[in-house]
């Protein structure tokens, strides 16, 4: 079960993508199972506050429908006692379990992810009715919270087209629900919503999916067109009678050709994948070349980024050129089977690699290959021995 299937369980992933994704809110019951307790908890929240101090704006307070000033963060306990909502932005940068979960979702959906945490208290509302400019999943961790979701009044808002200053819809909400631990609420961007904590303190994660639009695609194309001399030429002066139309026609045709390129979608997706940052960057002392095979051939490894953003097969079966975790890696003389398994989310052992490369010697061939991938930060050594 991948991360998106786990998030939506027991709701069918394909049905969700067809009926609800970017279209309609849905609440999915966790059926009483605390499915997200491994990601976050009150204890993890307290550890972050006590031992990993965060500063404004990554740590904020909201009360009575407004965000409090930066200086108020020095009195967290006092404000929370009065009912303020505590917000920790980008906690995927601080909690390893959330980092891995968000990274896998990014790989599946193809868009940047961000996770914020919210703790709130009974009968208080941190924010007024608003909409977000990204897709939102609410993961209820502790307590309960009442939510209302309204139809959009401004379709598919871009990041700068926020709801501040706009009027919420006058119609009643099309979805009302109370979330309990293990429940999920999905809210499409542009759909107005508000929430109020129920009878007990609430703790939830907000998973934001920052989708891309046609505007983003055009902005990417602009950088590509900068390399074309026709697009760098000066536009005709106003006094050059009749010269604008031919120039415009040339530009329009080159743009149409670019948009008609059947590889455009794949190239843009490869570009987006190249922007992804690895969940982990360091693994000492192994990354410095020491203790890389603590269990010999049974040592377990895992790729830091689940899928390479680009795989190019070298001519004459010489190997592969791979872009992964923002790095280019050359794997010469290896099989497609190895490449296919190497960048999967599941861990593997050296014995697995020998199975994928049956004609290779462990000490002469496989160990140097894995060692190079470890020192380059592509593979990480797992602590224990994986049962096989």
Domain presence at residue 154: yes
Q: What is the pLDDT of residues 1-51, one digit of tens each?
A: 889 999 999 999 999 999 999 999 999 999 989 999 999 999 999 999 999
Q: Do 181 and 307 share a domain, yes or no?
A: no
CA dihedral 208, 17, 3, 33 (to 10 degrees): 90
Q: Is residue 111 domain-shared with residue 8, that is, in the same domain? A: yes
Is residue 366 pLDDT above 70, yes or no?
yes
Q: Any residues with CB less than 8 A from the CB of 374 and at least 6 apart, and which? A: 283, 286, 287, 292, 301, 380, 381
Question: Do both 43 and 155 map to the same domain?
Answer: yes
What is the DSSP track for 28-55?
A: E--TT--TTTTT--HHHHHHHHHHS---
Per the model's pLDDT, the better-predicted residue between 383 and 338 turns out to be 338
Q: Do 195 and 293 lie in a common domain?
A: no
pLDDT at residue 387 above 70? no
CA 106 to chain centre: 4
8 Å CB contact between 386 and 300: yes
Give the torsion through C-alpha atoms of 241, 244, 247, 249, to 10 deg. Answer: -120
Give me the phi and psi of 76, to 5 degrees please: -60, -50
Among candidate residues 210, 231, 257, the one where a domain is terminated: 210
Q: Where are the beta strands (DSSP E) in the chain?
A: 26-28, 59-63, 66-67, 85-88, 112-120, 135-142, 145-152, 175-179, 184-187, 191-197, 202-210, 299-303, 310-313, 319-324, 327-332, 348-349, 379-385
Claim to verify: residue 310 and residue 201 sit in the same structural domain: no
The reply to whether 48 and 184 lie within a common domain is yes
Residues 297, 197: one domain?
Answer: no
Residues 14 and 142 in one domain: yes
> Has residue 37 been placed in a domain?
yes
Distances in Å between the Cα of 6 and the Cα atoms of 1, 36, 99, 105, 182 are 6, 10, 15, 10, 11
**Rounded to the nearest 10 degrees, what angle do helices 214-225 and 244-260 cross at?**
110
Mean pLDDT computed over 160-174: 93
CATH number of the domain where residue 318 is located: 3.40.366.30
Residues 6+ apart with CB under 8 A from 336: 313, 320
193, 210, 227: which is the final residue of a domain? Answer: 210
**Same structural domain for residues 206 and 294?**
no
The answer as to whether 220 is a domain residue is no
Let me know if residue 92 belongs to a domain: yes
* 10-19, 87-96, 193-202, 313-322, range with the lowest pLDDT: 313-322
Question: Is the pLDDT score of 388 beyond 50?
Answer: no
Instruction: Grade residue 184 by pLDDT with cuts at 50, 70 and 90.
Output: very high
Residues 348-377, mean pLDDT to the nearest whole number: 92
Cα 197 from Cα 127, distance rounded (Å): 12
Question: Does residue 308 share a domain with residue 197?
Answer: no
Residues 90 and 177 in one domain: yes
Our count of domains for the chain comes to 2
Residues 80 and 68 sit within 8 Å (Cβ to Cβ): no
Let me know if residue 234 belongs to a domain: no
Q: With CA atoms as reference, report the closest residue to 374 among 277, 262, 289.
A: 289
d(CA 135, CA 158) in angstroms, rounded, equals: 11
pLDDT score of 362 more than 70:
yes
Nearest 5°: CA angle at 23, between 93 and 87? 30
pLDDT of residue 112: 92
Segments of 213-318 assigned E as strands: 299-303, 310-313
pLDDT in tens, 207-220: 999 999 999 999 99
- For position 104, which CATH number holds? 2.60.120.650
CB of 74 closer than 8 Å to CB of 172: no
Residue 249 lies in a domain: no
Please give the residue range of the domain that contains residue 40: 3-210
More confident residue, 202 or 55: 202
Mean model confidence pLDDT for the chain: 88
CB 190 within 8 A of CB 120: no
- Tens digit of each residue's pLDDT (9 = 90 or more) over 275-313: 777 777 788 999 999 999 999 999 999 887 656 657 788
In the prediction, which pLDDT does 71 show?
Answer: 47
Among 210, 243, 263, the domain boundary falls at 210
Share of the chain above pLDDT 70, in %: 94
- Helix, strand, coil percent values for the chain (each to nearest 5): 35, 25, 40
Residue 354 in any domain: the answer is yes
Same domain as 175, residue 41: yes
**pLDDT exceeding 90 applies to what percent of the chain?**
54
């Amino acid at each position: 079960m991948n991360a998106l299937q786990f998030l939506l369980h027991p709701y069918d992933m394909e049905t969700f993508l067809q009926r609800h994704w970017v279209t309609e809110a849905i609440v999915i019951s966790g059926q009483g199972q605390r499915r997200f307790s491994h990601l976050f908890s009150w204890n993890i929240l307290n550890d972050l506050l006590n031992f990993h101090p965060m500063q404004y704006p990554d740590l904020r307070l909201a009360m009575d429908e407004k965000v409090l000033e930066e200086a108020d963060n020095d009195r967290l306990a006092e404000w929370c006692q009065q009912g303020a909502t505590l917000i920790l932005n980008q906690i995927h940068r601080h909690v390893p379990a959330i980092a891995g979960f968000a990274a896998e979702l990014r790989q599946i959906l193809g868009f940047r992810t961000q996770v914020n945490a919210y703790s709130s208290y009974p009968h208080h509302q941190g924010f007024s009715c608003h909409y977000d400019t990204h897709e939102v999943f609410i993961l209820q961790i502790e307590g309960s919270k009442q939510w209302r979701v309204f139809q959009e009044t401004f379709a598919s808002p871009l990041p700068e087209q926020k709801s501040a200053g706009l009027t919420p819809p006058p119609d009643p909400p099309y979805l009302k629900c109370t979330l309990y631990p293990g429940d999920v609420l999905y809210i499409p961007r542009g759909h107005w919503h508000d929430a109020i904590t129920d009878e007990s303190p609430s703790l939830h994660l907000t998973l934001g999916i920052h989708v891309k639009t046609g505007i983003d695609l055009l902005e990417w194309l602009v950088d590509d067109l900068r390399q074309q001399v026709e697009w760098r030429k000066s536009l005709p002066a106003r006094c050059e009678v009749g010269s604008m139309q031919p120039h415009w026609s040339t530009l329009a045709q080159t743009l149409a050709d670019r948009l008609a390129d059947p590889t455009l979608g794949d190239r843009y997706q490869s570009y987006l994948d190249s922007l992804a940052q690895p969940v982990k960057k360091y693994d000492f002392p192994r990354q410095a070349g020491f203790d890389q095979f603590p269990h010999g051939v049974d040592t377990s490894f895992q790729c830091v980024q689940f899928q390479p953003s680009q795989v190019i097969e070298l001519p004459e079966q010489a190997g592969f050129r791979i872009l992964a975790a923002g790095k280019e890696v050359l794997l010469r003389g290896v099989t497609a089977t190895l490449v296919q398994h190497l960048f999967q989310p599941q861990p593997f052992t050296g014995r697995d690699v020998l199975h994928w490369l049956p004609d290779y010697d462990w000490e002469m061939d496989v160990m140097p290959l894995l060692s190079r991938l470890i020192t380059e930060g592509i593979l990480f050594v797992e602590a224990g021995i994986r049962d096989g």
